Amino acid sequence: MSAAPVGVARGWLSGLGRGARETLSYVWLLGVLLLFWQWRATASPSPFVPPVSDALQTLRSEWFSGSASQLFLSEIFRDNAFASLARATQGWLVAAMVGVSLGVVLGVWRAAWEFANPVVRFGMSVPSTVLLPIAVVLFGITSSMNVFLIAFGSMWVVLVNTMDGVRNIDETAMLTARSLRLSRFRAFSRVLVPAASPHIVTGLRVSIGIALILMVVSELFAATEGIGYYIVYNQRTFQYRKVWGAVFLLAFLGVALNGLFALFETWTLRWHRARGRGE
């Protein structure tokens, strides 16, 4: 065998081993906790906290028992998870658009920030969940109520991160744009937004977790379908294995969504990382 294929194989195995070690360094504690949970629940059975294996089995049978033509998604998944994800997506998109737009305005226009500062601080200080009764009165038990609560609670972190990103832009970049006599639109699209994008993307990523939390909380108390509704229904009927199966589903969805957004973040900010390596 020639040296070139051997070298390629060794490099591939080395990279694979390095990736495995990095993955293990992230998940080892979670694995230990799950093993302890499995041992404790098996040694001291409880109807309220089943073993991890039972919860995962329920997760598979309840949510991923569909046919291959349906991507193994069960009817329960299609009826509840799709409804929840649709609400979370709509609320998050509204929060992203409003948060980024207002953040840019408040970051550029100092007088507007001084005027709106008390409102922003007050909105950030109010727990979004306490608005649930008011939202139910305004919208009723509808998806619009869930979307409103998700959007309201997720908006603030996007707004503040965007505003901070815009206000902390290097003045040299803006002076350069003025010296080149760029139009306001070109300066906005070519200088301001790219420079503030790391802060904006960070706010968007954090808001995903907030949106998922508010999605579940709003469905626990006011919904006729969704993962939160499924959890509270099975809790009331004392089917705790189904409750824990849904909890694991939420965990997997959260990891998957953050992983997808991490790929988007890597693609969006590739120029920023390339510049950092160059410096």
Chain position carrying tokens 């579940």: 216
CA distance 110 to 115: 9
CB atoms within 10 A of CB 240: 18
Q: What is the pLDDT along the chain (279 residues), one digit of tens a residue?
A: 455 554 545 554 455 556 566 667 677 888 899 999 999 999 999 989 999 999 999 999 999 998 888 888 999 999 999 999 999 999 999 999 999 999 998 988 888 888 888 898 888 888 888 888 888 888 888 899 999 999 999 999 999 999 998 888 777 766 676 777 766 777 776 777 778 888 899 999 999 999 999 999 999 988 889 999 999 999 999 999 999 999 999 999 999 998 899 888 888 777 655 555 445
Amino acid, res. 68: A
**pTM, two decimal places:** 0.83
Please state the φ and ψ torsions of residue 180, each to the nearest 5 degrees.
-80, 0
Please state the φ and ψ torsions of residue 242, each to the nearest 5 degrees.
-65, -35
Nearest to 231 by CA among 253, 214, 248, 252: 248
Q: Residues with Cβ < 8 Å from 249, sequence gap 6 or more?
A: 59, 63, 81, 227
Chain position carrying tokens 């790929």: 263
- CA angle, corner 85, sides to 84 and 87, nearest 5? 65
